[in-house]
Amino acid sequence: MKPLSEFDLIAQLTADAPSKAKDLMQGVGDDCAIIAGPYGFDWLITTDALVEGVHFRREWTDFETLGRKALAVNLSDIAAMGGRPRFYLVSIGLPPCDSDATVSALYDGIRAQAAEYDIFLIGGDTVSSSSEIFISITVLGDVPRGHAILRSGAKPGDAIYVTGQLGFSALGLICLDGGKRNDDAKPFILRHLSPIARIKEGIWIAKTCIATSMIDVSDGLLADLGHIADESGVGFEIDVGRVPTVPRFAELSRELKQDPIVLMLSGGEDYELAFTVDVQKVAQFEQLIQNQDIYTISRIGSVVGDIATRNVIGADGNLIDIKTKGFDHFAR
Ligand code: ADP
Ligand code: MG
């Protein structure tokens, strides 16, 4: 029998977990759980682990950089709700061969990342591991009561937006794997090894009170928009030519025998935000975007009513057959 996909496995394991209960505003199924807090705030709680050999390789990253990333990928889930991170816990599994210096470097990275967001370590766990290091971090954040942006709020007609560029991290990983580390490859490798959680952007988006749903792009744009679509009971159509990029991205992808469109649509770990905006408020939102010039926010498509529709329009205006591109697992 074919093993279950990660998403199907989670669905099976969590089938009896409540999505709402007393004080639980959002259980399994979003980027963070939401628990009603006192004083007009809700708590956001999220956890993510990195495992050696699966999520990182020692020969590709130093431990300080790894520490930064381990925290950043968790912060990204707080960003995806429009929240502000506050506290964190760190659990580590250490193989016998690792020295104290390794763990110190890891913590230097975690601490440096935490300092940028003014958040505090409040606990964790330290255990032995037989041969690989793992790092599991839990982050607590907060958001004004009822203002977290869920995956489940997208409505037919809503516009779809993304922050930043997509596919860069996947290209960086391919560069690392292919031993390509020249100046051309560096910006992409940096995106992969040292992603930035879009906390400031998420808070800004939440403050506009215009976004109807949001997610961070950790699994790849199609997969993550798929999570919004599944949770909201809608479909989507995106226009790949509207996703911002740089010429070097497509050039280097082709040099490495990769299709840049595939990387853009299904490459994971960009940790940008994808979100939807009520179509009636698009003009107002575009105005707000114009008035802030800190980061790139691009309109890339629309939400549609038919849950089976997961369409991608190519730069030439034609529908891309996502099946022939190897994306058939994204089709519903
Ligand atoms: P993300 O990519 O945002 O970290 P995931 O795809 O890892 O989200 O998880 C989706 C949802 O499933 C989240 O609500 C997460 O907390 C939950 N989840 C993932 N793995 C497990 C598990 N083993 N047991 C319970 N809940 C889980
Ligand atoms: Mg997420």
The pLDDT confidence band at residue 330, using thresholds 50, 70 and 90, is low
Tokens representing 27 are 């259980």
Of the candidates 72, 93, 289, 82, the one whose C-alpha atom is nearest the C-alpha of residue 169 is 72
* pLDDT given for residue 291 in this prediction: 87
The pLDDT confidence band at residue 98, using thresholds 50, 70 and 90, is confident
* pLDDT given for residue 249 in this prediction: 97
- Compare 208 and 327 and report the one with higher pLDDT: 208
CA of 99 to the centre of ligand 2 (A): 32
CA of 69 to the centre of ligand 2 (A): 14
* pLDDT given for residue 225 in this prediction: 97
pTM of the model: 0.96
**Is 80 exceeded by the pLDDT of residue 61?**
yes
* pLDDT given for residue 293 in this prediction: 72
For ligand 1, atom 3: residue with the closest CA: 31
The pLDDT confidence band at residue 315, using thresholds 50, 70 and 90, is confident
Q: What is the arithmetic mean of pLDDT over 56-83?
A: 97
For ligand 1, atom 1: residue with the closest CA: 31
For ligand 1, atom 8: residue with the closest CA: 31
Count of beta carbons in the 10 Å neighbourhood of residue 233: 12
Beta strands 297-304 and 211-216: pairing type? Answer: unpaired
Report yes or no: 137 and 70 within 8 Å, Cβ to Cβ. Answer: yes
Q: What is the arithmetic mean of pLDDT over 26-46?
A: 96
For ligand 1, atom 27: residue with the closest CA: 10
Q: What is the arithmetic mean of pLDDT over 111-137?
A: 96
Q: What is the pLDDT of residues 244-277, one digit of tens each?
A: 999 999 999 999 999 999 999 999 999 999 999 9
CA of 28 to the centre of ligand 1 (A): 7
**Is 80 exceeded by the pLDDT of residue 75?**
yes
Rounded to the nearest angstrom, the gap between the alpha carbon of residue 75 and the centroid of all alpha carbons in its chain is 9
Average pLDDT of the chain to the nearest whole number: 94
Q: Which atom of ligand 1 is nearest to the CA of 27?
A: 14
What lines the ligand 1 site, CB under 6 Å?
Answer: 10, 13-14, 28-31, 48, 77, 218-219
The pLDDT confidence band at residue 1, using thresholds 50, 70 and 90, is low
For ligand 1, atom 10: residue with the closest CA: 29
**Is 80 exceeded by the pLDDT of residue 3?**
no
E strands, 159-234, are: 159-163, 211-216
- Compare 98 and 187 and report the one with higher pLDDT: 187
* pLDDT given for residue 242 in this prediction: 95
Strand partners, 160: 276, 301
Report yes or no: 127 and 92 within 8 Å, Cβ to Cβ. Answer: yes
Tokens representing 142 are 């907060």
